[in-house]
């Protein structure tokens, strides 16, 4: 089994790369999706978050009010650290559980948005970074995700920069262009990863 860490800045196109990897046969472990699952209603994770932040961070239906919680934690590093201390261990445990189901020759792709920021590169055999220019990221966030330019810039500024990501990258995918340019790059990388997973030099 080969453990691949996949990361990239917001708007760089990491989700598209992970979708392509899955279409070729990768086992995907999506940290963002797991982070949502571990705080669903009825979970110990949600109970712990409510104990820490109070019932005001719930919607009337009893689910986590993400925008409200976000407004609390992104304005205060200590509150963000408190949230991470609850959620990160749960995500780690669930990821390990899913990874344990993979077989010997599998390529297991961990899609981890904050891989660089959280110093997680040593956990993986290969780190793949998807990157696009800040101008491309900004355009995608405003045009495709409906963010204001200020919101988009703030989200980008809160993440590692390109130089920091490149420092931990084994492979860099340039995703400034259209999908037709992305797919051949990803397929070539996939073939190399698959060879390595099955023991080829």
41-86 pLDDT, tens digit per residue, is 999 999 999 999 999 999 999 999 998 898 888 778 899 899 999 9
pTM of the model: 0.86
What is the model's pLDDT at position 70? 83
Contact between residue 4 and residue 193 where contact means Cβ atoms under 8 Å apart: yes
Sole residue written with tokens 């590169």: 121
Range list for CATH 3.40.50.300 in the chain: 1-26+106-201, 34-103
Q: Which CATH number fits domain 34-103: 3.30.565.10, 3.40.50.300, 1.10.10.10, 3.40.1710.10?
A: 3.40.50.300
| pLDDT tops 90 at residue 147 | no
Report whether CATH 1.10.730.10 matches the domain 1-26+106-201. Answer: no
């Amino acid at each position: 089994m080969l453990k691949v860490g996949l990361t990239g800045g917001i708007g760089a196109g990491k989700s598209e790369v992970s979708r392509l990897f899955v279409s070729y046969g990768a086992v995907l472990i999506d940290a963002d999706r797991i982070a949502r699952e571990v705080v669903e209603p009825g979970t110990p994770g949600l109970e712990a978050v409510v104990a820490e932040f109070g019932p005001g961070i719930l919607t009337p239906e009893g689910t986590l009010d993400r925008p409200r919680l976000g407004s609390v934690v992104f304005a205060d590093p200590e509150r963000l650290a408190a949230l991470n201390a609850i959620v990160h261990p749960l995500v780690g445990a669930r990821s390990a559980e899913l990874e344990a189901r993979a077989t010997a020759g599998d390529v297991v792709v961990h899609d981890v948005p904050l891989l660089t920021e959280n110093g997680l590169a040593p956990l993986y055999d290969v780190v793949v970074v998807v990157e696009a220019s800040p101008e491309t990221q900004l355009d995608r966030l405003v045009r495709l995700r409906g963010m204001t330019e200020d919101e988009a810039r703030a989200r980008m500024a809160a993440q590692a920069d390109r130089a920091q990501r490149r420092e931990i990258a084994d492979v860099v995918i340039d995703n400034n262009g259209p999908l037709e340019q992305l797919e051949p790059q990803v397929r070539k990388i996939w073939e190399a990863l698959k060879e390595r997973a099955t023991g080829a030099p």
